[in-house]
Each structure stands twice: as structure tokens, then as C-alpha cells.
Amino acid sequence: MFKINFTTNGPSIMKIWLTIALMVLFNTPTIFSQVTIKELSLENKIDSIALKPIPYDSLRDFQYQEKFTDYKQYIGLQLFLPQYNNPQGYRQACIVLYLKSPQIVKTTNLGTYITTKVYKPFSYFTGNVNGDNIECICTDAAEIGNKYYTILNVFDQAQFSKIISGMELYLPIKYNDGIKPNYEIPPVTFLIRDDLSKDSLYLTYGYMSRFFLVPYFVKQQQLYNGKSLIAYKINDIKFEDASKGKEVGVSQGSKWKCEVTLLKHKPTNTNYLNSNSISYTLSYILTNANNEMIVLEKLEDNNQYEFITEDEFFKRQTELKENELENKLKQEELVAKRKREEQLQIEKTRIETEKRLQLCINLYGTHFGVLVAQEKVAIGMTKEMCSSAWGKPWDISRTTIENAVFEDWHYGLFNSLHFVNGILKRIED
């Protein structure tokens, strides 16, 4: 216990106590305000928990994910959008990128001012469709094509609905008479950045197929570009020479030089794509020693065909030989094991036969003992000897007369032994 002694007079003591009391009274809220208590609701707890996304593997191209969390593996990766053409008519293929905030901008081609969240709007159709006056806009291909982008974030449907407001400003179709069509927010939306202009844009899942994942493309070039590939597995399939338009015979084990590139081609469905549209595919151009050329979008197609590098080919051949050698050794070991087991069985049978022979000789004498050990019967044997030699019969008939007992032992339909007074007198076989 601590004791404080005051040596001053009475009034001074009262002043000190009063001062202390006032300090405590007025400073109490300040003291306790430094300790805060917050109740974390269940909803906040759930939002604060995030599953770890699967790591990205550059051997895999962009893929649909069952779990939304797994789309986060693409954050930080680079995309490339090749140059392409703007659509020229209603319902033709295009790309629409969005801004977070609306802007009053002039359309690239018409020069009219519109309020929209569509990035770099391009008006490609104005007219009446099913009784509605509409204007179709998209992002101008000249502004976004042949550029690199980086994925900054990814949002699910609920998250993206909180980010946006005024959904009509996201629509690539404007209804000039005020009609607002139903528009479903896409299940997955990516926030991307133009690596050149640094503009942040929203890319919905449906347009992702027009972009190429740079790490995957680079990895494919590292693995196959300039390499010699071997036709490892060729089933009943026909290839066409891309440069000559004729059929090419691809034999198993043939060698092809590979080039990995984005190959531009014209559309075949002109109802959906205009005649000036172009699209790209990641392609493998294979050329053999005869300058025959085939173009593949993938190097393996189920059980139809497979092209592999020379290193992979030699690796598989080595593994095949090792497996064959291993199987051969296993087979030899199995044969040797069977031989050992057969020898052991022979030796076991020999020992048991010798034991039985000796036992029978001891019981029945040399002559009958040898026969019993060999499972043979002879006239003059007793019933015990015959039972030991042939086993118990399946049927016995007995006849008793004066001074004699006749027994017939039947073994099946055609074999029988006939005894008189316990001694074998007749054999039928």
C-alpha cells in the first residue's frame, strides 16, 4: 500500500483535491475514447474471407472457370487484341468496352454527340428494327486494336452491379424513342488497362474470346516456334495443304518445321460478320521437307492426331523402350518364379510319394505296399489295401451265405471290386 502525506495547510489540501477531481471528471471521455468496440456482422465476416485462387499455368489458355474465384488467376496478366474492322450492319460482330463514368462524346463516324459509357463509341447502324428506331454503337476498332492490355481486377455479377449505375448507358443499342430493353449483367467482367493510354476499361466475358492471353502465346512460341515436330499419332484423318489447297499425306513419324503465330483469316459466316471482317486464331503452321504446309489450331486432337517435339519424341521412345525392357524383365522373372514353384511342387510330390510308399510297405509288405502306393489293386488284397489304393467306393452291396460273405464295391458304372470273406477275388474295369 502506498501512503501519501501532505504537509501543507488545510485550505491548500482542499484546493489540490478539487483540482484532481476536476481533471478526472473532464478528461474521462478523452481517456476512454481511445478504446473502440466494433461489432462485426456475419455479412462483414463473409465478405472479409476470400478463397485463394488457383495459380495461373502458362500452359493453359484462357478457360471458363466453375468457381468465380478462379478467374482471379488472370489478374496481372497481359492481353493482346489484334487489329480488326468495325461492323457495317445491324447485329454484326463487334467489341464493346466500357468506362465507369458516362461521358458526352462525339461518335467517331457520324460526329453526333451522345451520352454513353461505351469507350470510344462508333455508330455503325441507325434505323428501324421491328418497329423501333435504334442506333447501334460499339467501341471503335481503330482505337483499341493492335494493342496490349493488363487485367487489373475481375468482378462477378453482383460486384459489377454495385459498380455501375444507369445501365442504359452501357447498352450498345440506343433506343431513340426511350424504350429500355432488358439487359442482363454479364456473369464475369474484367477491369483492364490500356498499356499505352493507361485508360481503365471494363471488358465483359463475352468479348474475352477476341483477346489473346500473352503469357500463353509466349509459352507456345517458346515450346514450339522454330522446332521440328514429329507426327507421333496419326489416325484416319485428312490434312489439306494450306498453300496449294490439295490433300496432304501425313505419315507417322514424319518431321515438320513449326511456326507459332496469330493467323488472320476471313469469316465464312457473312450473316454475322461483314465481308471486311477479319479474325485471328493462334495457329501452328507446319511445313515438311517437300514444302507441304498444314495449319493447325492445336497440336493434338483427341485420338485423331498428335504432333510433338523431337525432345518429347525421344523421351517417349526412351520410356517405351524402358517399359518394354521392364516388362521383359518382369516376364522373365515371372517365368523363373513359375519354374521355381514347379520345381518345389515336384520336390514336394516326390517326398510325399516316398513317404506314402514307405508307409504302405510298412503296413502291407513290399509286394502289396508298392501297388497300394501306386494306387493299384491286385487279387489277394484285403479291403483295407483296396480302400487305401482306390479310396472309398460310392456303393457297396453285401451278400451273406453259409461260411461266406460276398461284397461288391462299385466305383462308377464300369469299375468294381468283388470280395469273398474280405479278400479281393475279382476286378472289373
Residue closest to 53 by CA, chosen among 162, 153, 200: 153
For residue 228, list its beta bridge partners: 257
Q: Measure CA 292 to chain center.
A: 35
Q: 409 and 386 in contact (C-beta within 8 Å)?
A: yes
Sequence-distant (≥ 6) Cβ neighbours of residue 305 within 8 angstroms:
231, 233, 234, 235, 237, 250
Backbone angles phi, psi at 375, to 5 degrees: 60, 40
pLDDT tens for the chain, 429 residues long, are: 333 232 334 444 344 333 433 343 344 333 333 332 233 333 434 445 666 778 999 999 999 999 999 999 999 999 999 999 998 887 788 899 998 888 887 766 667 777 788 899 888 888 887 777 777 889 999 999 999 999 999 999 989 888 776 555 555 655 555 545 556 788 999 999 999 999 999 999 999 999 999 999 999 999 999 999 999 988 878 899 988 889 998 999 999 999 999 988 765 554 444 456 678 899 999 999 999 999 999 999 888 899 999 999 999 999 999 999 999 999 999 999 999 999 999 999 999 999 999 999 999 999 999 999 999 999 999 999 999 999 999 999 999 998 999 999 999 888 999 999 999 999 998
Residue closest to 266 by CA, chosen among 282, 285, 286, 280: 280
* Grid cell for residue 110: 457520324
Q: 95 and 208 in contact (C-beta within 8 Å)?
A: no
Strand ranges (DSSP E) for 270-403? 279-287, 293-296, 300-301, 305-309, 395-401
User: How far, in Å, CA of 256 to CA of 129, rounded?
Assistant: 52
What is the reported pLDDT for 294? 94
Instruction: Spell out the domain ranges in the chain.
Output: 68-210, 221-260+279-310, 375-429
For the chain, the C-alpha Rg in angstroms (whole number) is 48
User: How far, in Å, CA of 302 to CA of 298, rounded?
Assistant: 10
What is the reported pLDDT for 58? 94
